Amino acid sequence: MWNLLRDLGTRLLRDLTGSSRERQELLAAQIRLNERETENAPSSVLRLWRSFLGWVLLSLQAMAKRLAHMGIKTYVVGQITEPAITERDLLIVGSGSGESMFPLGIARKAKSFHASVVHIGANPESSMKAYSDLFVRIGVKTKLNLPSEIPSIQPMTSLFEQSLLLLGDIVALELIGKRKINMHELWQFHANLE
Q: Is 192 helix (H, G, I), strand (E, B) or coil?
A: coil
**Nearest in space to 30 (alpha carbons), one of 12, 11, 9, 48:** 9
Measured between alpha carbons, how far is 138 from 181 in angstroms, rounded to an integer? 27
DSSP labels, 99-146? --HHHHHHHHHHHHTT-EEEEEES-TTSGGGGG-SEEEE--B--TT--
Is position 87 annotated as part of the catalytic site? Answer: no
Residue of 22, 161, 185, 194 with catalytic role: 161
Which residues participate in catalysis according to the annotation?
A: 161
